[in-house]
Amino acid sequence: MRYYPVFLDLRDRPVLLVGGGAVALRKSELLLRSGAALKVVTISAQTPLLDLASAGKIDLALREFDSSDLEGVAFVIAATDDLAVNARVAAEAKARNIPVNVVDAPQLCTAILPAVVDRDPVLVAIGTEGTAPVLARRLRERIEVLLEPSLGALATLCANWRQRVRARFSTIPQRRQFWERVIDGAPSADLRTGHPLRAERSMAELLTEQASALEAKGEVVLVGAGPGDAGLLTLHALRAIQDADVVFYDALVSREVLELIRRDAEKIAVGKRAGAHSVAQADIHASLLQAARAGQRVVRLKGGDPLTFARGGEELEFLRAHGIRYRVIPGVTAAAACAAYAGIPLTHREHAQSLQLLTAHSAQALDTLNWRALAAPGQTLAVYMGVAVAPTLVMRLLAAGAAPTTPVAIIENGSRPEQRVILCPLNELPRRIVSDSVKAPALLVIGSVAALGRELAWFGQAPLDWLRSAPAQTLAVAA
């Protein structure tokens, strides 16, 4: 290890920046944020640097660098386009034992500027000893998505309560245990959900040991896992499943998503499939309640979006009735994701001006729908769980006036590597489901937009197209 990692306190200390171009401007921004007393020496300066000088935020000298500029300086950055000038600045600084950074010249540096993940006052610095700055930036991008935006607020909260915690707990192990409860518990969750005053109250409850009742109830997070592709998880969803002690997951959650759950978390399958319910909803409610009351961090992981045809509303009502704290992290619902991965726009100015999401998990559920409205042209129907009741679905739409040649897309395993798309006319839908052995999970997209999947498909294998024999002019007007 050539460089010793360290953070410098530059507040109100003299710092010299040599250069006035775009790179120097970027360096000046971070130096000013650190509170440095910044002097810039350059032959010519960009307008933003001139504006900073006019505002009295920097000391700007429009001239060549002189060795006298280093008097009393704590840190130096050379960021000119002239290699000879940069080398001279570095040599002069080294002679005076002043740390110096030279942009794009690690061999001249005694200090390296890292890529920084900023959650002030939490800072993460990534360095490659100047050998691969682009790699450092890429690593920063990856770390950025893993660190909560509220992390800085949490650090500030901890700082504000530090003395009170030291006064309350006499030993280091006690204090460590307390701070773990803060970071993993209610105060952190309160800040993530935008409740800083509640976070203060949660801190007070923890500190006075009056939080036992709250902790006993725990918290449940309903998380949408999307339709399968783990890349569609939101950042909040990823953080939740990596923080969880126990995850109750549905059958439609993909293996790729399950692999992202924290390794030592307990994973419990509570999945349902049409016609083969493995766990009753009442049993799921009881399991969530038991885990939350045990003080565990509980995630209820659902395919798609947890509040779209996923019984998430029922679970929230149950949790609220039993006094359990909860949060909801939305997911990309199947209609949006599967249609996108099939190259099918759900709305289109020339085809569909409205979208309806339907669930058809049973023939009885179909009895409550307004079929005349659903058969009207100029819209798209996205049907969840419609494979098993396709014959009834088609019969009702045709009876209500839908065109037999209305295009339909069957999207099986949407967004997953095994995705399959089958295009057919509405009146052939039941036959194609049988002849092509369609299995759940599958989404039905009904409307003229479905035909666009012939040309706009981009993911996985090409669609199986049974629309070929239908007249083109019919497809253009079918709803």
SS3 assignment, position 413: coil
Q: What is the chain's alpha carbon radius of gyration, rounded to the nearest angstrom?
A: 30
Question: What token pair was written down for 95?
Answer: 């002679």
CA dist list (Å): 30 to 24, 33, 109, 211: 10, 5, 18, 41
How would DSSP label each residue in 320-387? HHTT-EEEEE----HHHHHHHHTT--S-BTTTBS-EEEEE-SSHHHHTTS-HHHHT-SS-EEEEET-S
SS3 of residue 70 by DSSP:
helix
User: What is the C-alpha to C-alpha distance for residues 304 and 332, in angstroms, rounded to an integer?
Assistant: 5
| All residues at 6 or more sequence positions from 62 whose CB lies less than 8 Å from its CB, including other chains | 42, 43, 44, 45
**Contact between residue 400 and residue 426 where contact means Cβ atoms under 8 Å apart:** no
Omega of the bond leading into 133 within 30 degrees of 0 (cis): no
Cβ atoms of residues 428 and 403 within 8 Å: no
Q: Which residues are catalytic?
A: 250, 272
How far is Cα 50 from Cα 58, in angstroms, rounded to an integer?
9
**Phi, psi at residue 78, to the nearest 5°?**
-105, 120
Q: Half-sphere exposure of 45 toward its Cβ, with a 13 Å CA cutoff? A: 25
- Which region holds residue 19: left if phi is over 0, alpha if psi is between -120 and 50, else beta? left
3-state secondary structure of 439: coil
CB-CB neighbours of 241 under 10 Å: 25
Give dist(CA 265, CA 285) in Å, integer.
Answer: 19
Q: Is it true that the peptide bond before 441 is cis, omega within 30 degrees of 0?
A: yes
Give residue 159's identity as a one-letter amino acid code. Answer: A
Q: Is 160 helix (H, G, I), strand (E, B) or coil?
A: helix
Kind plus residue range of the DSSP H or E element containing 455: helix 453-456
| 426, 405 Cβ separation under 8 angstroms | yes
Helix (H) or strand (E) segment spanning residue 46: none
What's the DSSP call for residue 451? G
